[in-house]
Amino acid sequence: MKLKALIIDDEADSRSVLRKLAEQHCPGIDICGEASNVSAAYKMIIDHKPQVIFLDIQMPGDNGFAILKKFIEIPFEVIFVTSYDEYAIEAIKFNALDYLLKPVEINELKTTVARLEKVVEKKEVRQKQLVNLIIHLEREDIEKKLAVHKNDTVVLLPLRDITHMQAERNYTQIVTSSNEFFTSSKNLGEFEDLLEGYRQFVRINKQYIVNVNFINDYSKGEPCMLTVNNQFCFEISRRKKQEILDVLKGRQD
């Protein structure tokens, strides 16, 4: 008997690719629907009652974990789908849950689905692991916030929402995934020191620090360029090139 599954991802291309791969290589999976945001996903889960969801972690607004928080008891299994997000991946591994890295590879998909099918067949319950995962990630989100001023207000920006930082003379402009811009009186060097240990942030040249979770693509030639959040294009300095390429390669391993 096939497992009824939903794909939840804000990117139409990602949903299409995953659906095709699942239909071609996972005969035990029946994709019964797709959703691009939390509210649509919740309605589809209620209507279709899937046994498994492929859940993208990084989505605009509420992230994928917001869907899980809507259920007192989570009535389905979850395969998380994510770009490089070191802390989330470590937390998922720690709680013995399943995940796929984008771009999804056929063998990884087949192995992950086969493992999930055994879990369902044995009627194992991973409710506790999912709850623990949410608690761990919420705790980390609380700790990882940056205080910046906007007019007369202090705004606490979650680090995971920051796409990049740009040097502006002695100031720094901070840009978020929702295209909000904030200006800090700290210079870029101070932010580089502040973010030491947060390996998702890398200094790519004299002017920019970028969040690797928002890098869409990059070129290996000269000049070496990368695209952030599907709209900002930056050049990697020659001195930083090998370091940055090693970080980006780590996202694919």
What residue type is assigned to position 158 of the chain?
Answer: P
**Phi, psi (rounded to 5 degrees) for 156:** -95, 105
CATH superfamily of 146-252: LytTr DNA-binding domain (2.40.50.1020)
Which CATH fold would you assign to the domain 3-142? Rossmann fold (3.40.50)
What residue type is assigned to position 23 of the chain?
Answer: E
Q: What Rg, from alpha-carbon coordinates, does the chain have?
A: 20
**Phi, psi (rounded to 5 degrees) for 187:** -85, 170
Domain segments of the chain as ranges: 3-142, 146-252
pLDDT, one tens digit for every residue, the chain (253 residues): 799 999 999 889 999 999 999 999 999 999 999 999 888 999 999 999 999 999 998 776 667 888 888 888 888 999 999 876 666 787 788 788 999 988 899 999 999 999 999 988 888 778 888 888 877 776 655 457 788 877 777 788 888 889 999 999 889 999 999 999 998 888 999 898 888 767 778 899 999 999 988 888 887 778 888 889 888 999 998 888 887 777 766 555 4
Find residue 234's DSSP bridge partners.
226
**pTM > 0.75: yes or no:** no
Q: How many CB atoms lie within 10 A of CB 197?
A: 6
Find residue 168's DSSP bridge partners.
171
What's the CA gap between 158 and 118, in Å, rounded?
A: 37
Count of residues making up the chain:
253
